[in-house]
């Protein structure tokens, strides 16, 4: 079965059952979302949401982050993985944002990757949510497990997996498909204890 046929079989169930169509991260501005996305690497979104209210109260703007010492930022994010590196990323990103983009987060996927700690996956997550632009699918561990489970890609590199997904998923569905897959991953996509006979997508594929 070719990948487009697989997607056509599982997508109606996926998009109906898992209705998440936006990031799990809490934010009010494009900059706050950028900060939250940088912090979310190797950390749960729940963990990020717990610390960002105090972080944004202390550092309410890109200028505040740019003027802070990394160790000052680190105090507010120390419950997260790699918090020292992330504190440096936040300060550098704020400095770049002010110097090169007049303090405004770019809505271009190449330009936004000039920010420290922002790669392709982060760029897609930020722009698709902050600017409601359908530019791709953020490929994280949930998405990788999903494509392997249903044979949608044999690639290992996230950027190559994304390119293959964008070929088989209609553009209008890119954003909601990405988050539906992530929600599926949280609920059904576990590696341990997975039972095919209890997976609604597996059942849809094998009718």
Catalytic annotation, residues: 121, 140
Both tokens of 200, joined, read: 């609604």
Q: State the CB neighbour count (10 A cutoff) for residue 124.
A: 24
DSSP string, 15-75: HHH----S-SS--SSHHHHHHHHHHTTTS-HHHHHHHHHHHHHHS-SHHHHHHS-HHHHHH
Rg from Cα positions in the chain: 18
- Pick from 31, 76, 34: which is nearest to 55 by CA? 76
């Amino acid at each position: 079965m070719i990948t487009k046929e697989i997607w056509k079989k599982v997508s109606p169930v996926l998009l109906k059952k898992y209705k998440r169509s936006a990031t799990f991260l809490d934010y009010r501005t494009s900059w706050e979302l950028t900060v939250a996305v940088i912090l979310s690497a190797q950390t749960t979104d729940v963990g990020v949401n717990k610390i960002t209210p105090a972080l944004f109260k202390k550092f309410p703007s890109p200028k505040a982050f740019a003027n802070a010492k990394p160790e000052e930022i680190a105090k507010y994010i120390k419950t997260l993985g790699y918090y020292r590196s992330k504190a440096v990323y936040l300060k550098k990103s704020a400095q770049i944002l002010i110097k090169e983009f007049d303090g405004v987060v770019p809505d271009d996927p190449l330009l936004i990757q000039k920010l420290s700690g922002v790669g392709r996956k982060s760029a897609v997550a930020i722009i698709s949510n902050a600017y409601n632009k359908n530019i791709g699918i953020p490929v994280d561990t949930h998405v990788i497990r999903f494509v392997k489970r249903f044979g949608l890609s044999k690639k290992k590199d996230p950027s190559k997996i994304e390119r293959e997904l964008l070929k088989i998923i209609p553009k209008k569905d890119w954003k909601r498909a990405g988050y539906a897959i992530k929600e599926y991953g949280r609920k059904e996509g576990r590696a341990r204890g997975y039972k095919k006979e209890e997976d609604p997508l597996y059942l849809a594929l094998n009718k």
